[in-house]
Amino acid sequence: MADTTLAAQFLAIALFAGCLFHAWNTEGRRAAQQWFLVGYLFALLLVNLLVVIEQIAYNPALVVIGAAPSLIIMFYPALWYLACTLAKFFADENDLRRRVYVMFLLTPALFLPLDAAALQLGWWAFPSGSSSFLNGVPFYLPFAWGAAAAMFMFMVGRIRFIRLRGSGQFFAMVIATPLVAALALAAIAVIQVIVNTLAVFGGAGLLYGMLSVLFLVLPLGLVWRFPRSRKAGHSGNRGN
């Protein structure tokens, strides 16, 4: 198989740059810098931790910082931004809890095709030995990526609600990032244990059922409730 790691890194940079450009023009310089610089740092710390505990292994041809690839992880803040942008269609900008929930639902749908392609093309692998599908994607992984994205979104959203002058919000996010990355790693470990335990007692059928809930039932419920919530909102506005 041809080495496509250079193409993967170029794709990550291009997606990162495109999303950064979009955020810069729609949300402003400050918000774009916060999301993508802090998001890159968060991804760098989290992925380094995952590599150290042998939950993910990257192709040695990739450019790295520490144990994590320095360019390929640009996929993370870029895909999180896409999920956050889509979340705005289903949640009010000031409703942080609902936006975090939507982030948890949307992020796995964006990451799953990337992980499946990466396994096929040899960009990275998951040597944990957990039950897997799609030729090597662990069953726990979609839930793990959703949880990590939701925690990042919650951190950014909460700090943005705090009125800090100048670059105060940015530095607050930078300070909080190592703690949130460690909490995300702990959450991923708990998710892995739960999913692996369910695999022992319920088999693959139960795990596929959980994925169907994550990828079908919950998103359909979100879409079904969305028009009703919009209608209720319009009715409330007319009443005012």
What is the reported pLDDT for 176? 97
Better-scored residue on pLDDT, 177 or 167: 177
Cα 117 to Cα 110, 111, 137, distances in angstroms: 12, 10, 10
What is the C-alpha to C-alpha distance for residues 156 and 154, in angstroms, rounded to an integer? 6
Residue 223 has pLDDT above 90, yes or no: no
Reported confidence tier of residue 227, pLDDT bands at 50, 70, 90: low
User: Residue ranges of the domains in the chain?
Assistant: 5-228
Structure tokens at 142: 């979609």
Reported confidence tier of residue 89, pLDDT bands at 50, 70, 90: confident
Structure tokens at 219: 């998103």
pLDDT tens for each residue of 3-51: 899 999 999 999 999 999 999 999 999 999 999 999 999 999 999 999 9
Going 84 to 16 to 180 to 51, the CA torsion angle's sign is positive
Task: Say if residues 15 and 75 touch (Cβ distance below 8 Å).
Answer: yes
Question: Per DSSP, which regions of 99-219 are E strands?
Answer: 124-125, 132-133, 137-138
Q: Which residues pair with 199 in a beta bridge?
A: none
Q: Average pLDDT in the 211-232 region?
A: 74
Lowest mean pLDDT among 40-49, 109-118, 126-135, 181-190: 126-135
Q: Provide the whole-model pTM.
A: 0.90
Better-scored residue on pLDDT, 129 or 37: 37
Helices (H), 65-95: 75-87
Residue 237 has pLDDT above 50, yes or no: no
What is the reported pLDDT for 173? 96
**What 3-state class would DSSP assign to 56?**
coil
Lowest mean pLDDT among 40-44, 204-208, 225-229: 225-229
First to last CA, the chain: 64
What is the C-alpha to C-alpha distance for residues 52 and 184, in angstroms, rounded to an integer? 15
